[in-house]
Amino acid sequence: MKSAHQLDLVLASTAAWRSEALSRLGLKHKAMAPQFEEPPFVGGKLEDHVRALALGKAKSLAGPGLVVLGFDQMIEVGTQVLGKPGNFENALAQLRLLNGKRHRLVNGLAVVTPDQTLQLWDQCFLTMRSLSEPELCYYLEQDQPFGCAGSYKIEGLGASLFESVEVSDLGSIVGLPTNLVGNALRSLGFSNLLP
């Protein structure tokens, strides 16, 4: 096993929370915007779609000597799939849909190196409290989660939206499943637990 600290690691995302999560793992990296246009979900297994999006993002920044991490996450509630809302109105519509219900959040991870490609995924389940319209609006004004799938930030005031969370990796909800990152790096022969 070699030290992960010697990797030229690139995060295919400019999301601050993803970069912070990698930094907490002691992984030095560059955060860059992927050069990838995300196709919409048109059916099939959601886990296949988020893995494909993560791979597209990672491949868009691949280069000699680089190890690129790409991520994506989406939400499934009933037969509907939710991504990033983009604005207050769409976010409110998403929270109304999730209100009082259990939903599945699916994460995709892709790691692209000069020699190989890995694709992993995980899921978690969250049950939102039954909340009033003023509560939903106040929440959106406070956290402004317009770039987050499902229109919430669990690491902020959004934690108050939920009555239960079923997860094997706390990082999954914020969009960077740290267990998956560790598993991927170790399968490539690297550990962040070595100097």
CA dist., res. 6 & res. 119, Å (int)? 22
What is the C-alpha separation between 192 and 195, in angstroms, rounded? 8
CB 140 within 8 A of CB 92: yes
Cβ count within 10 A of residue 72: 27
Contact 22, 13 (CB under 8 A): no
State the alpha helices, DSSP H only, in 60-110: 88-98
- Catalytic, 72? Answer yes
Which tokens hold the place of 88? 């207050």
Active-site position among 8, 48, 72, 169: 72
* Dist. CA 31–CA 36, nearest whole Å: 15
Helix, strand and coil content of the chain, in percent to the nearest 5, comes to: 35, 25, 35
Separation of alpha carbons 191 and 183, rounded Å: 9
Give me 154's structure tokens: 């669990």
Active site residues: 72
